[in-house]
Amino acid sequence: MLFRINAELVQSELVPSELQQLFEKHYPAVNTAGFRLSPVAGLTGESWKITSPAGNWLARHQSYEKRIAGADRQRESAILRHVARQKSGPCVRLYSPPWLIVDWIDGTPLTEQDFATPATQQALSQMLVRLHQLAPSGYRLDLQQQFARYWQHIDRRRLTPRWLRLHRKMLSQNPPLPLKLALVHMDIHAGNVLNTPDGLRLIDWEYAANADIALELAAIVRGNGWNAQQQNTFLNEYVNAGGYQEITLLQQQVNRWIPWVDYLMLMWFEVRWQQTGENRYSEWAHPLRP
């Protein structure tokens, strides 16, 4: 397969030099005009869309900030290869640290309104059940280890005695025993679900790992701000799609995980606020602060 790059854009300071070097090493035709690189989601330098007559791809960078936040491109690459037959995520084309290159999925991110419709809930539940039926990937999610890592990168001036007590509690108590250990995505919201001609597809697998299916479901419920009725409706859709069949036990387990998800969200928001200074992260963290 031949790749060609837009000569003018290569000379732009916006294009990371290591990404240019990666193409020059793995794709000898990189010096031929026609290949275009463009930043995705602003000028963060972490994701770039690659456009060429041969196809479109996405280059994802492993930055220091992303690693602190819990992302790992090597794990992401392995998991995407693990789920490749299901075609629920993008196909991996190349992993060469610090870059992961995957297929660009043509589709439209769901709106929050579309995400909450019965049709989407049903389709999402079916996709989740298929994902949760896969063999574990080999990467186990350790929430307490993640809490400890986040703790090293938050603004100490924002700590309160109640927060300190909560942190000690979250590190000392045992997490719920898994109802079912499976591969989970752990970042499912409207923006990460694409509507494509072939159905729904999931993007941004950087937090995927092995964990309890109820933790995944709790993360979806809390991450999308669903109320009790919406939670019950979604869990019933999951059960009807062939997921865990004991609805009462599933509901209880999801509720056990909710405090853990809330603390995970709080810590992630605080880390991202410290990294970026963007007020939205502080605002999202506020209702979760003890």
Average pLDDT in the 221-249 region?
Answer: 94
Range of the domain at 208: 108-288
Q: Would you state the pLDDT for residue 144?
A: 96
pTM confidence score: 0.89
Whether residue 148 is found in the same domain as residue 269: yes
Average pLDDT in the 10-14 region?
Answer: 40
Whether residue 139 is found in the same domain as residue 209: yes
Whether residue 165 is found in the same domain as residue 225: yes
Cβ-contact 16, 61 below 8 angstroms: yes
Whether residue 87 is found in the same domain as residue 145: no
Band of pLDDT at residue 34, cut at 50, 70 and 90: low
Say which CATH number the domain at 151 has: 3.90.1200.10
State the first-to-last Cα distance of the chain, in angstroms, to the nearest integer.
Answer: 54
**Which range among 38-52, 140-154, 180-194 shows the weakest confidence by mean pLDDT?**
38-52
Average pLDDT in the 135-144 region?
Answer: 91
Percent of the chain with pLDDT over 90: 67
Q: Would you state the pLDDT for residue 39?
A: 81
The last residue of one of the domains, among 103, 123, 153, is: 103
Average pLDDT in the 29-47 region?
Answer: 63
Average pLDDT in the 230-254 region?
Answer: 95
Residue 2 maps to a domain: no
Q: How far is the CA of 147 from the CAs of 48, 154, 167, in angstroms?
A: 30, 11, 8
Say which CATH number the domain at 66 has: 3.30.200.20
Q: Would you state the pLDDT for residue 11?
A: 35
Whether residue 251 is found in the same domain as residue 187: yes
Whether residue 70 is found in the same domain as residue 113: no
Query: Taking 50 as the threshold, does the pLDDT of residue 274 lie above it?
Result: yes
Whether residue 117 is found in the same domain as residue 248: yes
The size of the chain, in residues, is: 290
At 14 the three-state DSSP class reads coil
| Residues with Cβ within 8 Å of residue 246, at least 6 apart in sequence | none
Whether residue 191 is found in the same domain as residue 278: yes
Average pLDDT in the 27-41 region?
Answer: 65
Band of pLDDT at residue 86, cut at 50, 70 and 90: confident
Q: Would you state the pLDDT for residue 14?
A: 46
50-81 tens-digit pLDDT: 887 777 889 998 888 888 888 899 999 999 99
Residue 252 maps to a domain: yes
Whether residue 131 is found in the same domain as residue 206: yes
Average pLDDT in the 279-286 region?
Answer: 93
93-128 tens-digit pLDDT: 999 988 999 999 999 999 988 998 999 999 999 999
Average pLDDT in the 202-219 region?
Answer: 96
Whether residue 113 is found in the same domain as residue 63: no
**Which range among 31-40, 91-100, 202-211 shows the weakest confidence by mean pLDDT?**
31-40
Cβ-contact 139, 75 below 8 angstroms: yes
